[in-house]
Structure 1
Amino acid sequence: MSLVMEDELGIVYVVETAQQFWSELEDIINVKGVPTLQELDSTLKRWLSLCATYHEQYLQSPLQLEHACGLLLDSELFAFHSERMMDNLVETIQSNTDPHNQFMAYSVFLCYGTRRPDVYKSTKRWRPLVPLLMDHVLVDIDAEDETGLYGGHVEEGPVIEVKLRTLSVRLLYEMCRWQKLSQTDLRVFDDSFVDHLFDLVEQTRDAPDETFNHLVIKFIVSLNEQFMVASVSEGPSSSIQDSNNRVLRVLVRRLGTTKTFGENMIHMLNRAERSPDDLCMQLLVLKLIYLIFTTKGTSEYFYTNDLCVLVDVFLREVVDLDDDSESLRHTYLRVLHPLLTRTQLRDVPYKRPQIKYSLESLVRNEDIRDINATTRRLVERCLSGDWCVGLRKADVVSPPASDGGGISVSRSHLGVPTTAQHHQHHGGLKSSRSVENMRATERRGSEISIAGAKAPMAAQVRKGTADSLDTSTFARKNHYAASDTASEAAVARSTVRKDLRKDKDIRSVPSSPVLMEEFGGEGQFLRHKDSVRQRREPPAPPKRRKPPAIPVRTGPHGTTYTTIQSSSPSPLSNHF
């Protein structure tokens, strides 16, 4: 059954196809000649009536609706008479109670505001519309119709009340985002209305389309921004109940029933992109989160797992944001300090080394790039928290031990493991006779190395000769070896001494503690020498084979005459 539309001039429209609808729409806005102001007003009303009648059939998708509004905004009506047309839209919304007609008028408002955001800054124009928009938000809708703006069944689509509610929330959000409201203007948003907004967030948490849920959250955080700005002139309040910030006041009263609101705020931050709308949303959400962290009674509003996700978001955004978003980075840093010091994370060490490294990277390499003074101040504030004290103490390394000449005896710069690290590395081996032998040798070598490092003067008295090696060192270490390896240790000691006397290059090694450490310590050097002596000799390389014979010619009876390739003269022999 085709719908019939009759305008105020008595013209009847019967549209049966989409092509016919778009043709009629273009004919209406195609004004010929020099129209009067009354004709322009009548043209706008006919366009609204035609779209209001057939929008459920031919303007079901957002792209179709945006295209229809774009045709109107590109026409002569808005090209030369935009102010008059906007006043006519406001008058139509106030006088016409048809929800379909109001939906189309609000849609034109939204598209025009997308092109010219300054339209949202007109307080005089928006003040009469705010109560009407709030009425659409407060309408009770059945759960069966909670399908979002363009969700639901393809045949029917969402009811007009659902469309109007979603569109009204979006317009209110845009208005709060672009203009500054006074305390008088904010009185219309009372506690019951803010409480209803939190209810909408909880009611739509399981909706398949999360657009409306996130849109309500954006409106709430934009209202919080308006209350914060309006309360700056009045000074800080003594308590939350006395505060004029109705968003925070209602949130405190609903701490146990608004968990979806906090979860989805973090979810929106995590999925935010670099678009202008998302950058603004991040600023608004972070300001409310900062207020929650710094207010007594709400600092532990979020779950611990959600706080860990928030830390991951901060680590990514603080580093990835470009220089054009420096103010947003500063907001992240301002919120990071109470996040780590006033929430559950003050007792949960989650990714603290990564946080410290990311913060320090923001103020690093100041000799080759300019560091913002605010960035430096905020980073220092974050690093001054109790969570970072232990990490900074761990970074303070005590100076390495050195001999009398001031030369370090540490071997870490050579990449050689220390004696303690060597013992720790072999501590997990299974017990066996050969392993005990290795441990006994390691203990003897480590004691010689330690003795050389602690007593450099004793090594100088012995004049650095290998013949004067103190045998008491080995005697003191015998009690560390197992009883079943005593005889093997004695054989090893005698072998080491013989090798030291025979080898002239090694005799000068233990003369200085520094050289002992450079070679890995006297005990470790001797152990290396002993291990090389017991290694099996490598096999001899294979002998070169004679090259195969190459046939050169064939005799008359099939006899093949060959010659050795190596005996033939080289082609280069004629050149020398």
Structure 2
Amino acid sequence: MSSTKDLRVPRSSAVGYVNSPAICVNVGDDLEYKTFFVHEELICSRSDFFKNAMKEPWQEAEEHEVTLAGEEPETFSLYLELLYSNVLPVRGTESDVNSSEEYNKLSKLYVLAEMLMDDLTKNIVLAAILDRSQEAHSDGQLYYPGPTSIQIVYDRTPEGSAARRLLVDLYTTFGDETFKLAEHPDLPKDFFFDLAVNTITKRPTLADHNDLETELSLFKLKVASKIDYIAKIEIAMQGLRNENMRVSEELVEAEGEIQDLEFKMKKIREHYSTRDPDMAFEVSYNLENEQQFWDELDDIVSTRCQEEEIIDNSLRSFLNVTTNYKSEYLQTDYSVAKCIFRMLEGELFAAHKEYVRRQIVYCLLQEEDNPTLHIVAAFLLYDGRNSLDDVIFEMMHSEGTFPRLVELVQMQTVQEDTRLHQLLLELLYESSRIQRLNWEDFMAVNDSFIIYLLGIIEGVSDDAEDPYHYPVIRVLLVLNEQYLVASTNQQNAGRSGITNRVIKAISTHGMTYKTFGCNLILLLNRESETSLQLLILKVLYLIFGNPSTAEYFYTNDLHVLVDVILRNLIDLPHESPAASALRHTYLRVLNPILTNSQISKPPHYKREDLLRLLHLLVTSGNHFAPVDETTVRLVKRCTSVQWLQPPGTVTDDASPTNGHSTTNSPIEYMANGQKELARRALGMSVQGGGESSTSVLEIATHTEKPGVQTPSLGKAVQ
């Protein structure tokens, strides 16, 4: 069975009117008349009219019958519905949105309650009218009591009635032109009077107006403040967007750096197992003077052992002693070199060279402490320079130390230690000029690193101790060499060449970093080592061969460069093969200088001196032996430059000489005469020189071992 609500209550809680007698109520007139019966106790408890009527000596009390003539049975029926069921069934249908029937019924009920002196019913009706006025119908509109309701209320209620006040308040508060009261002049005059009085009473005063003005001003200030706040937010948002773009760019760069770090970590993990994990400097020393320091060092490097554990302990001791007392006894480069050579000449290193070297290389890959890095870098540098072979540099290359060196050179803590910074630059140079860099090595060098090196040179251009900042320049020279060789190999293999970041930096930032070019000329002027001269010439060859960098040098510096080249060409002996190879490189560099630089524009610098030198190169043989074929070809290429031609010479633009003159210059006539003399005397012939298709290859492949001195006529005379 379905559960039902428990309706049981105590007897005292039950209504008592059901036992009271019924009153007969006759409502209406002859046109509409109806009789109702209502419990006496119920209606008397609400209506003072019925309560008084049921008192003696009224006839109604004796007969229990009351007549309400002039009232509508429908309205009294609604009243009884409210008494018995406490509801007001007056709502219209949803479609009847414009009907005022509900307001009319409520107005009549209020008038009836007024007559019956039922205050509770009056309040209920007023609340119903107010609720109805706030209800939006299906068309979205609000409707208020109309003229009929107003007429009903004002006809049968006294002045000051609550119903009258409610109607006036509704029209005063919500009334507008849509109410069209002017179309109903028959409305009670009392209504218009009450409406006027109420409107005047509620009209804002001057003080209210001033308060509104003040509130409006405050509101405007708040709005302006909000607008300003929004503008600031927009600026902040734009800043965040810009910051987001910057962070995105940094993330791209960071991804590349992460790849480099992953590569380094891979290398370290591969070999970390070979290194003692306890390689901490746990041994402490208490040395009182310098002699004790050197004695202790001699004991360490003289250790005789076969076990790797003992070797590791000795290396720990060596690094511990040198780093702990570096600030006291290793304050100069000489003392550091002395310390390193003690190790290189000791029994420990002599018996276990490969193992010691590899452990030191691992230290370079892992250590971050400046004193330790200083000793490690010095060991690798002096070991490499002191060895007759390149084993240590080959080992460094195989272990991937190049990216690590590039990283260390750029570290702020390393830059603050000038001696360590210079030592790492020298190690980077020495290890890079022996071994070819691989793809991972090239990836470690970005544009910012090249700009950083150029910036160092620019910043110390007036350094009295090192005006050329030799280590930095040599790193740039060897990097250019690596790019040149790698690009040549790539092109020979049919692949696209690798970007030369040194030339790229000069091309894009040349105007900012002119000091590098000045120092190249000064180094070429004073350098006697052939390998370094070749490195400088290769950079010059690429600079003058590139249209975007051909005018990189100041004109005065360019004149000095031409003078240096002229002097060095004259100074090279003819009988030396090494000198001949270097002479060829000078001539290959001279050609783009004559063709592309500012010297090709009037007034042409030392035109006659250049012609005399070139003539001398093709006419100065050894005992009438002809000059070598390559020299003749390269000289002819230089003399074919337009501005070196005799006056009045006409260039045949249609000739296959790429703009060079096909008319023999005086030098060529002399050279041809020399070749003819050689042909007649010795039966030899020299082919005519044209533009070589292998100049870049010749430049790239021309190398010399470090330390070899350039042959010189001046030195031979001495």
Give the structure-2-normalised TM-score: 0.48
Q: Say which of 498, 515, 522 aligns to 1:260.
A: 515
Q: Which residue of 2 aligns with 1:235?
A: 491
Letter in 2 for 1:50: V
Q: Which amino acid aligns with 1:108?
A: F
- 1:319 maps to 570
Secondary structure at the residue paired with 1:13?
A: coil
Residue aligning to 1:354? 609
Q: 1:31-51 CA deviation, whole Å, 9 max, x = no partner?
A: 25x543322221122112111
Distance 1:35 1:9 in 2: 21
RMSD over aligned Cα, in angstroms? Answer: 2.8
Q: Residue 334 of structure 1 aligns with which residue?
A: 588
Partners in 1 of 2:373 and 2:281 — Cα distance?
21
CA distance 1:354–1:334, change in 2 (3 Å): same
Q: Cα distance, 1:65 vs. partner? A: 1.6
- Contact kept, 8 Å, 1:120 with 1:126, in 2: the verdict is no
What SS class does the counterpart of residue 616 from structure 2 fall into? helix
Q: Determine helix, strand or coil for the equivalent of 1:164.
A: helix
Separation of aligned partners in 1, 2:402 and 2:391: 14
Contact 2:611–2:667 under 8 Å retained in 1: no
Q: 1:340 to 1:73 in 2, by over 3 A?
A: same
Output the CA distance in 1 between the equivalents of 2:396 and 2:302: 31
Cα offset for 1:62? 2.2
CA contact (8 A) 2:357 2:392 kept: no
The answer (yes or no) to whether the contact 1:136–1:164 under 8 Å persists in 2 is no
2:627 aligns with: 371
The 3 A distance-change label for structure 1 pair 14 and 211 is farther
The CA distance in 1 between the partners of 2:635 and 2:421, in whole Å, is 43
Contact 1:120–1:179 (CA<8 Å) still a contact in 2? no
> Which residue is 1:541 aligned to?
none
**CA distance, structure 2, for counterparts of residue 396 and residue 311 of structure 1:** 21
Match of 1:200 among 456, 462, 481: 456
The answer to whether structure 1 residue 164 and structure 2 residue 420 are counterparts is: yes
1:223 is displaced (CA, Å) by: 0.8
Contact 2:541 2:592 in 1 (8 A): yes
The aligned counterpart of 2:154 is: none
- Percent sequence identity is 34
Indicate conservation of the 8 Å contact 2:618/2:627, yes or no.
yes
Q: Matches of 1:136 and 1:9 in 2, distance apart?
A: 22
Does residue 244 of the first structure (1) align with residue 516 of the second (2)? no
Deviates more, 1:368-377 or 1:305-314: 368-377
Deviation of the 1:192 alpha carbon: 1.8
Q: Do the aligned partners of 1:166 and 1:212 also contact (CA within 8 Å) in 2?
A: no
Out of 319, 324, 342, the position equivalent to 1:53 is: 324
Deviations 1:205-261 (A, max 9, x none): 12222277221111112111111211124439xxx9x96111111221102201111
Instruction: Summarize the alignment of residues 54-203 of structure 1 with structure 2, pairs less than 5 Å apart.
Output: 54-116=325-387, 117-119=389-391, 121-122=393-394, 125=397, 127-140=399-412, 161-203=417-459
C-alpha displacement of 1:360:
2.1
Larger radius of gyration: 2
For the 8 Å contact 2:483–2:500, the answer to whether it is kept is yes
Structure 1 segment 387-406 matched on structure 2, within 5 A: 387-390=643-646
Give the partner amino acid of 1:138. Answer: Q
Aligned AA for 1:329? Answer: R
CA distance in 1, matches of 2:511, 2:584: 31
Q: Does 2:536 correspond to 1:285?
A: yes
Q: 1:385 to 1:84 in 2, by over 3 A?
A: same
Indicate the SS of the match to 2:285: strand
**CA 280–339 in structure 1, closer or farther in 2 if over 3 Å, else same:** same
Cα 1:165–1:251 shift into 2, 3 Å: same
Matches within 5 A, 1:426-437: none
- 1:18 corresponds in structure 2 to 290
Distance 2:668 2:509 in 1: 47
Alignment deviations for residues 258-290 of structure 1 (CA, whole Å, 9 cap, x no partner): 1111111111111112xxxx3212111111111
- CA spacing shift, 1:9–1:222, aligned 2, 3 Å: closer
Q: Is the 8 Å Cα contact of residues 483 and 498 (structure 2) preserved in structure 1?
A: no
Letter in 2 for 1:252: S
- The superposition leaves residues 328-369 of structure 1 with CA deviations (integer Å, 9 ceiling, x where unpaired) of 221111111111221111123222222222222222244534
Partners of 1:331 and 1:184 in 2: CA distance = 30
**Taking structure 1 as reference, are residues 297 and 248 closer, same or farther at Cα in structure 2, changes over 3 Å only?**
same
Q: Structure 1 221/365 Cα, relative in aligned 2: closer, same or farther at 3 Å?
A: closer
How many angstroms apart in 2 are the aligned matches of 1:184 and 1:140?
A: 23
Cα distance change on mapping 1:319 and 1:118 into 2, 3 Å: same
Matched residue, 1:30:
302
Give, in whole Å, the separation in 2 of the partners of 1:40 and 1:212: 41
> Matches of 2:404 and 2:666 in 1, distance apart?
61
Taking the TM superposition and a 5 Å limit, the aligned residue runs for 1:399-418 are none
Residue 312 (structure 2) aligned to one of 21, 26, 41: 41
Question: 1:494 is matched with which residue?
Answer: none
* Cα separation, 1, equivalents of 2:555 and 2:570: 23
SS in structure 2 opposite 1:14?
coil
Deviation at 1:396, TM superposition (A): 11
Q: Is the 8 A contact 2:490 2:498 kept in 1?
A: no
- Residue identity opposite 1:179 in structure 2: Q
Letter matched to residue 91 of structure 1: Y
Cα separation, 2, equivalents of 1:72 and 1:395:
60
Decide whether aligned partners of structure 1 residues 114 and 352 sit closer, same or farther in structure 2, where only a CA change above 3 A counts: same
Say whether the 8 Å CA contact 2:425–2:471 is kept in structure 1: yes
State the alpha-carbon separation in 2 of the partners of residues 369 and 56 from structure 1: 63
For 1:497-508, list aligned pairs within 5 A.
none
Residue number in structure 2 paired with 1:300 = 551
Answering whether residue 466 of structure 2 is matched by residue 210 of structure 1, we say yes
3-state SS of 2:619 partner: coil
One-letter code of the match for 2:542? L
How far is 1:298 from its partner?
A: 1.3
CA spacing shift, 1:395–1:365, aligned 2, 3 Å: closer
- In structure 2, C-alpha distance between the alignment counterparts of 1:319 and 1:54, rounded to whole Å: 52
- Give the 3 Å change call, closer, same or farther, for CA 396–256 of structure 1 in structure 2: closer
Residue-by-residue CA offset, 1:98-135 (whole Å, 9 max, x unaligned)? 21111101100001100225135526655432233222
Checking the alignment, whether the CA contact within 8 Å between 1:183 and 1:230 is kept in structure 2 is: no
Amino acid at match of 1:320: D
Which amino acid is 1:119 matched to?
V
Shift in Å, 1:188: 1.2
CA distance in 2, matches of 1:260, 1:386: 31
Structure 1 unmatched runs, 5+? 1-6, 147-158, 398-576
Aligned-partner residue type, residue 254 of structure 1: H
- In the TM superposition, residue 69 of structure 1 has moved relative to its aligned partner by 0.9
Q: Distance in 1 between matches of 2:618 and 2:326?
A: 56
Output aligned runs, 1:440-519, within 5 Å: none
- TM-aligned CA distance change 1:125 to 1:211, over 3 Å: farther
AA aligned to 2:537 is: L
CA contact (8 A) 2:281 2:317 kept: no
Give 1:17 shift: 2.3
Which amino acid in structure 2 is aligned with residue 251 of structure 1?
Answer: I
